[in-house]
Amino acid sequence: MPVLNEIGYLRRAVETTLAQEVPGPIELVLALGPSTDGTTALAHELAAADDRIVLVENPAADIPVGLNAAIRASSHPTIVRVDAHSELTPGYATRALDTLARTRAGNVGGVMRADGRTPFQRAVAWAYNSPIGLGGAAYHGGSLEGEAESAYLGVIRRAVLDDVGLFDETIRRGEDWELNLRIRSAGYRVWFDPALSVTYWPRSSWTRLAKQFLATGRWRGELFRRYGRRNALKYFAPPALVILIALALVVGALLASGAAAALPWLAVVAPAVLLPVAAYVLLVVAFSAVARGPGFGLRERGWLLAVLPTMHLAWGTGFLTGAVRGAHDTVDTSRLSGRNTPLP
């Protein structure tokens, strides 16, 4: 479990992990980044109370570096990746082990079940769980079991990691997709099991959400530079939307300036550019109006009007930047400072 500034979430993440019942020994290795909100002290408190918790340092604060340090410090034949911002459902580990044995897969993952405690967080959770929000990957709400491109978190055989290598420490976001690409390329299967469910708590503010998606998009652009069309087509939709909106702004400015008479091609280009953007706006409004879920009301729907474009445009802008310039040392700064909203 990589950990950084998770004072509001770490205790529950640890409790639900250690509550897993498996036919054998269990340990939880926390890779501690340089937190500034008291998370490190809480981690030491939890470790002092339970000798199954092992602490390792992750001074770079990079997720793949922390994951590799935790894997090297672990001692059992199956690796269960856990997020400090999530909670495992009862029976998760047992079901995952059974699925590994039944399917003989190299890596098994389930559903990221996003949830929220505030109107904003519930709006983000709805977007995470909806195809319009994050593109409809199986782990964002799929119901059919089978082979998959990647796995959320993942329950991995150590022998598979020994064969293909650990996480690529030069990739700060999308490291799970890249690892699963290597796993599949080596002839192993990555398996999605919808019976596996993990509760995920999204970012708690608009600023943090925008930072997260900008950084994630930029690293996807870097992965496009490295792996080209091995990236699924769905990853190209947000950058295409950003380009389309940019063109619409240019065309709109030309129309407003009265340049249509001098530029007859505008009559052809304008509908081709402006109508798809108008359709996107109507789509966002329509989905925001009909969105339903536990605790969902007017405030959540109002936030959804901002959340959906933020996710799409921040991610798409990041992708274009990463595809052109690379990600280099881009980091997700949404958890590097401040305090995450604690759970009640």
Plot region of 135 (φ>0 → left; ψ -120 to 50 → alpha; else → beta): left
Rounded Cα distance between 185 and 282, Å, is 41
In sequence order, the β-bridge partners of residue 88 are 198
Please determine, for residue 115, whether its predicted confidence score (pLDDT) is greater than 80: yes
Q: What is the pLDDT of residues 6-18, one digit of tens each?
A: 999 999 999 999 9
Rounded Cα distance between 236 and 224, Å, is 10
Q: Report if residue 217 sits inside a domain.
A: no
Residues 277 and 139 in one domain: no
In Å, how far are 186, 229, 244, 307 from 225, measured between CA atoms? 21, 9, 21, 28
Q: Where residue 34 sits, what CATH number does that domain have?
A: 3.90.550.10
Q: Report if residue 65 sits inside a domain.
A: yes
Residues constituting the chain: 344
Residues 13 and 141 in one domain: yes
193 within 8 A of 110, measured Cβ to Cβ: yes
pLDDT, residue 343, reads: 43
Q: What is the pLDDT of residues 179-202, one digit of tens each?
A: 999 999 999 999 999 999 999 999
Q: What band does 2 get if pLDDT is binned at 50, 70 and 90?
A: very high
Residues 54 and 138 in one domain: yes
pLDDT, residue 341, reads: 47
Q: What is the pLDDT of residues 294-329, one digit of tens each?
A: 788 999 999 999 999 999 999 999 999 999 999 988
Q: What share of the chain is helix, strand, coil (3-state, %, to 5)?
A: 55, 10, 35
The proportion of the chain whose per-residue pLDDT surpasses 90, expressed as a percent, equals: 82
In sequence order, the β-bridge partners of residue 80 are 155
pLDDT, residue 131, reads: 84
CB under 8 Å to 122, separation ≥6 — which residues? Answer: 115, 116, 293, 294, 295, 296, 300, 303
Structure tokens that stand for 17 in this block: 């992990």
Q: What is the pLDDT of residues 217-270, one digit of tens each?
A: 999 999 999 999 899 899 999 999 999 999 999 999 999 888 877 888 888 899
Residues 188 and 233 in one domain: no
Instruction: Give the residue from 319, 173, 325 showing the smallest Cα distance to 243.
Output: 319
Q: Report if residue 218 sits inside a domain.
A: no
pLDDT, residue 227, reads: 95
pLDDT, residue 344, reads: 39
Q: What band does 37 get if pLDDT is binned at 50, 70 and 90?
A: very high
Residues 47 and 155 in one domain: yes
Rounded Cα distance between 91 and 335, Å, is 29
Q: Report if residue 174 sits inside a domain.
A: yes
Q: Report if residue 343 sits inside a domain.
A: no
Residues 232 and 192 in one domain: no
In sequence order, the β-bridge partners of residue 147 are 191
CB under 8 Å to 89, separation ≥6 — which residues? Answer: 16, 196, 197, 198, 199
pTM score of the predicted model: 0.89
Rg (CA), the chain: 21
Residues 233 and 169 in one domain: no
Q: What is the mean pLDDT of residues 205-215?
A: 96
User: Between vectors from CA 81 to CA 76 and to CA 83, what angle results, nearest 5°?
Assistant: 140
Please determine, for residue 336, whether its predicted confidence score (pLDDT) is greater than 80: no
Q: Report if residue 282 sits inside a domain.
A: yes
Q: What band does 337 get if pLDDT is binned at 50, 70 and 90?
A: low
pLDDT, residue 270, reads: 92
The proportion of the chain whose per-residue pLDDT surpasses 70, expressed as a percent, equals: 95
Residue entry with tokens 């030069």: 170
Average pLDDT of the residues of the chain: 92
Rounded Cα distance between 9 and 37, Å, is 12
- Split into its structural domains, the chain has a count of 2
The parent domain of residue 137 ranges over: 2-204
What b/e readout covers 265-280, taking b as 16+ CB neighbours within 10 angstroms? Answer: ebeeebeebbebbeeb
pLDDT, residue 138, reads: 64
Q: Report if residue 338 sits inside a domain.
A: no
155 within 8 A of 80, measured Cβ to Cβ: yes
Q: What is the DSSP letter of 342?
A: P
Q: Report if residue 290 sits inside a domain.
A: yes
Instruction: Give the residue from 287, 336, 332 showing the smallest Cα distance to 309.
Output: 287
pLDDT, residue 133, reads: 87
